[in-house]
Amino acid sequence: MLSYGTKVVAGVSPGKGGSQVHGVPVYDTVEEALKEHEVDASIVFVPARFAVNAAYEAVDSGIRLVVVVTEHIPVVDVARVVKYARERGTRVIGPNCPGVIVPEETLIGIMPTRAFRRGKIGIVSRSGTLTYEVAEILKEYGQSTVIGIGGDPIVGTTMQEVVEMFDRDPETEKIVVIGEIGGTMEEQVAKMKKEGKIKKEIVAYIAGSTAPREKRMGHAGAVVYMGMGTYESKVSAFKETGIKIAKTPYEIKDLI
């Protein structure tokens, strides 16, 4: 993040206060860090057992954006911290996500920066590695902002919310949605488009077309509910609203 130009002003690791990493001062608590620095965002690289406490600490300190990279956080704990953060005006990205990048400006996350270039396409994705793959494919067009929301059943910021933000963003001309089987966020995006709430063109790709039925897949969010959340239901919802659907990641470029 530092080498990309992100202004990392402080690190927090209990018991390591007073030290420095790559020239960045480390503090024992977020509260101590905020006494010395102005902070807009926090990124949590903390093991699952302690990640929620790190997120609570950031929220309680008044930080307005918290990106949680950690995976394997219990769903109940995620639900509680997301509700807590929303009530206090903090946006959570993740957990189990690669973070956020504004190409050639700032990176808050673990994305490989070589895949990104400044441009006009907004990308929102439930998959980390597919995010980088699609960004690389669309590199000649470039991206305005790229957000990996995470692959867990409950996430701090939904696909619908990100699509709405891209629709309002003057830097974004077209939106790419990278979904996957499980959950209903993609169907909700299709509904918003159908109701005219989203004006900009959307191109979508859904991962999981070959996933065997009734078999548990890798991502925790890959759960099907009452016929909703299947590959077929998502594709059908998109087709009804005229959203273009790529059969492979490489087709996204052609549809754009």
CA 87 to chain centre: 20
List CB contacts of 1: < 8 A, sequence separation 6 or more. 8, 43, 107, 108, 109
207 phi and psi angles, rounded to 5 deg: -85, 145
Q: In what order do the strands lie in the sheet with 20-21?
A: 11-12, 24-27, 20-21
Point out which residues pair with 108 in neighbouring strands. Answer: 100
Q: Is residue 219 flagged as an active site residue?
A: yes
- Side chain identity at residue 73, one-letter code: I
DSSP, res 126: S
Out of 22, 37, 72, 219, pick the active-site residue: 219
Q: Is-contact 157 93, C-beta < 8 A?
A: yes
List CB contacts of 243: < 8 A, sequence separation 6 or more. 177, 189, 190, 193, 202, 203, 204
Nearest to 94 by CA among 149, 51, 163: 149
Which residue carries 């939106």 as its tokens? Answer: 175
Q: Active-site residue numbers? A: 219
